[in-house]
Structure 1
Amino acid sequence: MKNKLYYISLASIMLALLIVCSQLTIPLPMIPLTLQTLAVGLLASILPLRYSLQTILVYLLLGFIGLPVFANFKGGLGVLFSNTGGYLLGFLVYVMIVGSMVAKKQTFNWLLLANSLGALMQLLCGSLWLLVISDINLENALLIGTVPFLLPGAIKVILVCICAQIYYREFTKRSAKI
């Protein structure tokens, strides 16, 4: 029961962090960069898969019913059918990949691999969504929807891994004292 309460509390905190990070935008030429995926990677790295998926599902549900939790304080079902819909749904793929891999081991290199794969698959989901809703070919969808996000995504993945390792270290210390 104690672990369940702990993880529900941590999932709630991570949901709040995801909502806040969704509003933090770094204006770059060509693409605005939000910290959403940083929060997604972090929650996927520290929460068990079940709680990660539930957190993302709650986030998406809140946004789809109209609460302004998505980037730029957007919400509503229309966001799903916009250019960003595939990226949002890709968060589910991201947490499934990371959660499945991190359940096995939590070394820095393993976290780096898991988050790199998760982030890449999330970008590919967004690009494939662009292909479906836009009149562009696969090459252009990948050039528009994946390539510009690779370097910023790699930086965020490294930050996620550093933060997750700090969390693991601190959680292990506190667990040993109990």
Structure 2
Amino acid sequence: MTTRDLAFAALFTGIIIVLGLVPPVPLGFIPVPITLQSMGVMLAGCIIGAKRGALAYLIFVLLVAVGMPVLSGGRGGLAVLFGPTGGYVLGWIAAALVTGFCAERLVREEQGEWRQLAGFFAASVAGGIVVLYLIGMPWVSLVAGTPFSAVAMGSLAFIPGDLLKAAIAALAARAVLAGYPLLRQRA
């Protein structure tokens, strides 16, 4: 990793923290709120790539672990990481890695705009939704003592919003690629 890679990771850690300034939206039937910080997974992976995106979230999770109130709603600390939402927070690292890995393979500068958008959207869905749910849902089930089937049914409420986040991330990543291509400068 170069100094440039570390600077991009730190920059995106800051962006993730800023996304946490938007208050969480609790749903009531599942102990996991809707936050914009999960869109940061998609943005980081698509814009700065797998390694740098995962590093940005690793730094973020370390800040949470030491008690910095950087999560949406001003939360932080080990209690959050070991609580019902901890699987999603820890899963953000792997989700950013997978999102970036997919984006690096699906999107090329020489492709047309629509194909790039489709690639970024697919990468965002694969990492930011599928991988994140595969890590977060079993964690919620285990920690909250809720049957996995109930957690899976409750998680269906997040899918429309997460698909919207994936679309926004794809548009943002395409705009950055057109103006300042960071993704091709892989770490």
TM-score, normalising length: structure 2: 0.83
Aligned counterparts of 2:151 and 2:25: Cα–Cα separation in 1? 22
- Say whether the 8 Å CA contact 1:41–1:160 is kept in structure 2: yes
Aligned counterparts of 1:134 and 1:73: Cα–Cα separation in 2? 22
- Say whether the 8 Å CA contact 1:124–1:142 is kept in structure 2: no
Q: 1:148 corresponds to which residue?
A: 157
- Say whether the 8 Å CA contact 2:55–2:93 is kept in structure 1: no
TM-score, normalising length: structure 1: 0.87
- Say whether the 8 Å CA contact 2:19–2:40 is kept in structure 1: yes
Q: Does 1:10 align with 2:4?
A: no
Q: 2:180 corresponds to which residue?
A: 171
Is the partner of 1:71 in helix, strand or coil? coil
Q: 2:139 corresponds to which residue?
A: 129
Aligned counterparts of 2:26 and 2:146: Cα–Cα separation in 1? 24
Larger helix share, 1 or 2: 1
Q: Tell me which of 120, 136, 161 is aligned to 1:111.
A: 120
**RMSD between aligned residues:** 2.1
Q: Report the count of equivalent residues.
A: 170
- Say whether the 8 Å CA contact 1:60–1:88 is kept in structure 2: yes
1:73-112 alignment to 2 at 5 Å? 73-106=74-107, 107-112=116-121
Counterpart residue identity of residue 141, structure 1: V
- Say whether the 8 Å CA contact 2:47–2:176 is kept in structure 1: yes
Is the partner of 1:33 in helix, strand or coil? coil
Q: 1:23 corresponds to which residue?
A: 21
- Say whether the 8 Å CA contact 1:23–1:34 is kept in structure 2: no
Q: Does 1:70 align with 2:80?
A: no
Point out where structure 2 has 5 or more consecutive residues left out of the alignment. Answer: 108-115
Q: Give aligned-pair identity as a percent.
A: 22
Counterpart residue identity of residue 33, structure 1: I
Task: Flag the structure with more relative contact order, 1 or 2, with Cα contacts below 8 A and sequence separation at least 6.
Answer: 2
Q: 1:139 corresponds to which residue?
A: 149
